[in-house]
Amino acid sequence: MTTALETIKTINPAAYPKHVGIIMDGNGRWAKQQGKARTFGHKAGVESVRAAIRFAIQHELDVLTLFAFSSENWKRPEQEVSVLMELFMFVLTKEVKRLHKNKVRLKIIGDVSRFNDRLQKKIAESEALTENNDGLLLCVAANYGGRWDIANAVNQYIEKTGNTKLTEDDITANISLAEFTPLDLIIRTGGETRISNFLLWHAAYAEFYFTDELWPDFREESFAKAVQCFASRQRRFGLTGDQVEES
**Annotated catalytic sites, by residue?**
25, 73
Q: Please tell me the number of Cα atoms within 13 Å of 8 on its side-chain side.
A: 23
Helical residues (DSSP H) of the chain, grouped into ranges: 4-7, 27-33, 38-58, 78-101, 117-130, 146-161, 168-174, 220-231, 241-246
DSSP string computed for 32-96: HHTT--HHHHHHHHHHHHHHHHHHHHHTT-SEEEEEEEETTGGGS-HHHHHHHHHHHHHHHHHHH
